[in-house]
Amino acid sequence: MRIIGRLAYPLFCLAIAANVVRQPISCPIGLKYLSGILLFAILSQWPYSRYFDNGHLNILFVIALGLVIAQAMHHRTPGLILSGILALMTTIALRPVLSYGVAGVLLPPALVIALQARKLELKIVCWSLSALLAAIANVGSSILLLPDLPTMDHAVIIAAALAPVLGLTLLQVQVPPLRSVKGWLYPVYPIHLLLLSSLSISF
């Protein structure tokens, strides 16, 4: 389950990046999207804190910050650039309590660049950077001690690093457009946290 969770976050960031890249340049339409994420980030915090009890903010806050920076990098309007800078400053200030740290926030904008890359050399660099950020987001500075880490941590790092590469590869394949994610899906995160919390109390 731990490895599946480590795969899920980079793939979710990739979905956000793909949604940003689809938007026409200089015509951001992500405010409603961001509002929905922030609303359920706030609603999710209580069950998240109850289940994990680690003093961290839940991943929806990380995703919201990453979305703002990704929007700024894609659209490059003065207002969004300022918002992106403020989001980055907020990320640095909140680094100790962010679930996936600074690397987790930088993953969506890195994936935006990776999706926009056209030349092979640039793709290799951007895809590699995305894989590195995904790995660091999951294990932090422990990645510097890679040879000394237990086997399970090696598996987590590999899964996290491969997730964005796998997702980017799949996006190169032409597939029919999927239905957009509607607001009804936002409550899934807080609901699943409440279920996990209830199960932990029961057992």
Q: What is the pLDDT of residues 70-80, one digit of tens each?
A: 999 998 889 89
The whole-angstrom distance between residue 113's C-alpha and the CA centroid of its chain comes to 14
Handedness of CA 137, 10, 92, 53 (dihedral sign): negative
Q: What is the pLDDT of residue 203?
A: 45
Residue type, 154: H
Q: pTM higher than 0.85 for the full model?
A: no
Produce one character per residue of 158-186: b if its CB has 16 or more CB atoms within 10 Å, e if not. ebbbbbbbbbbeebeeeeeeeeeeeeeeb
pLDDT in tens, 76-96: 889 899 999 999 999 999 999
For residue 107, give the nearest of 63, 167, 166, 41 by alpha carbon: 63
* Mean pLDDT along residues 55-64: 91
CA distance 175 to 165: 18
Q: What is the pLDDT of residue 29?
A: 63
Phi, psi of 57 (to 5 degrees): -80, 150
